[in-house]
Amino acid sequence: MAPSATTPAQPKGATGCLVLADGSVIWGKGFGSVGSAVGEVCFNTAMTGYQEVMTDPSYAAQIVTFTFPHIGNVGANAEDVESAVEKAVESAVGCVTREDVTEPSNFRSAESFVEWMARNNKIGLAGVDTRALTRRIRTAGAPNAVIAHDPSGEFDLPELLERAREWAGLEGMDLAIRATRDASEKWEGGYWRLGHGYGRADWSNKPHVVAVDYGAKDNIFRNLVRAGARVTVVPAKTSLEDILALEPDGVFLSNGPGDPAATGEYAVPVIQALLEQDVPMFGICLGHQMLALAAGAKTLKMHQGHRGANHPVKRVGEGWGETTGLVEITSMNHGFAVDAETLPDNLEQTHVSLFDGSNCGIAVKGKRAFGVQYHPEASPGPQDSFYLFEKFVGGLA
């Protein structure tokens, strides 16, 4: 590929690159795993929690551009992952950073971020003008691209460009089936405390929540336990009969990656049947979108998506009483959204984004079922929305 205005000549010392489907090439220093991976380039504005972000299954088939410049400076550890090791490959394939990753400086660090990235088969690209890349995404939308790292600095740019252009993208892609667990699991983990690690779940005489795993963050289950539930986690394609056989007091619908319309082909009929039987339900992110689809709404691909830990969301539903109008600062990670213009009469909009007015919450009228687009479990992020777990579990007693 000959250098041009959008494909600058490879600078000396460049060991990594990001090749966009439009032919643009962004050079930098590669770190982590050696090789290449294709995905959609997005950006995340959180200032903390890079390890949680990189192990969130909702980022499957995505390359995360961190707008905060200093990524990796506190190293990595075994406690800050948000999905099991076997699911870690079904999370972000790589990341782009402004500064080189420095040696870790934190008493909780067990290894460097560079080592952790390599061990988890994720590719990093440092030394990039992430502000310019973020502006590009905001203007033109999230592009498909290939991220590559080779210590020798040798890259087959035409081949990488071809891969970026041939990749179909996230629309129409069911990634939840790849990110979910293989078998049902009795959730044993509790909430984390500094110096104590994770607690243990108490299964004695607690409301039973069956959580459908579409590619869930583990901290969601910990918060359900913290709110007073005992939790059984089941795979994404678990049948209605198998869910009901567990005798749930309520059903939780998790976050996850990919196009909700594609996942909905098998998830929506089960959720509709649960609604008909008036089983209490709570959905987060993809789970929120699944609930909306089951009730008759539609979803859409967003221009750039919402990803960060500082997103303001306003309560607008009538059911919030004197707190209607209250604003929560939330953590978000989604590239698809519920289309508010398609909400049927049986759905009430309960939350909206103050960034762009998009839908961030619904409640099914006459049913004990609600969902939010954002992540009340944080990891990383603010804790304004933990109350939603108490609202759900408290209603099951």
Euclidean distance between CA atoms 154 and 151, whole angstroms: 8
| Residue 319 banded pLDDT, cuts 50, 70, 90 | confident
Tell whether pTM > 0.85.
yes
Paired strand residues for 308: 332
Q: pLDDT for 120-135, tens place per residue?
A: 999 999 999 999 999 9
Euclidean distance between CA atoms 372 and 381, whole angstroms: 15
Tokens of 381: 């992020």
Q: pLDDT for 264-285, tens place per residue?
A: 999 999 999 999 999 999 999 9
Q: What is the per-residue DSSP string for 283-319?
A: EETHHHHHHHHHTT--EEEEEEEEEEEEEEEEE--GG
- Cis peptide preceding 3, ω within 30 of 0: no
Distances (CA, A) of 118 to 40, 97, 192: 20, 16, 26
Rg (Cα) of the chain, in Å, rounded? 21
Instruction: Give yes or no: 360 in active site.
Output: no
Instruction: Give yes or no: 375 in active site.
Output: yes
Q: pLDDT for 133-164, tens place per residue?
A: 999 999 999 999 999 999 999 999 999 999 99
Q: Classify residue 2 as exposed, middle or buried by CB count within 10 Å of its CB (0-12, 13-18, 19+).
A: exposed
Give the class (CATH, top level) of 176-394. Answer: alpha beta
Between 346 and 319, where is the model more confident? 346
SS3 89: helix
| Cα pseudo-dihedral 203, 208, 214, 215, rounded to 10 | -20
User: Which one from 285, 311, 351, 360 is the annotated catalytic residue?
Assistant: 285
Q: Classify residue 183 as exposed, middle or buried by CB count within 10 Å of its CB (0-12, 13-18, 19+).
A: exposed
Residue boundaries of the structural domains of the chain: 16-166, 176-394
User: Which one from 40, 82, 328, 377 is the annotated catalytic residue?
Assistant: 377
Instruction: Give yes or no: 311 in active site.
Output: no
User: Which one from 288, 306, 311, 375 is the annotated catalytic residue?
Assistant: 375
Contact 353, 312 (CB under 8 A): yes
Architecture in CATH of 16-166: 3-Layer(bba) Sandwich (3.50)
> Is residue 6 predicted with pLDDT exceeding 70?
no
| Residue 238 banded pLDDT, cuts 50, 70, 90 | very high
Contact 283, 270 (CB under 8 A): no
Q: What is the per-residue DSSP string for 237-280?
A: T--HHHHHHT--SEEEE----S-HHHHHHHHHHHHHHHHHTT--
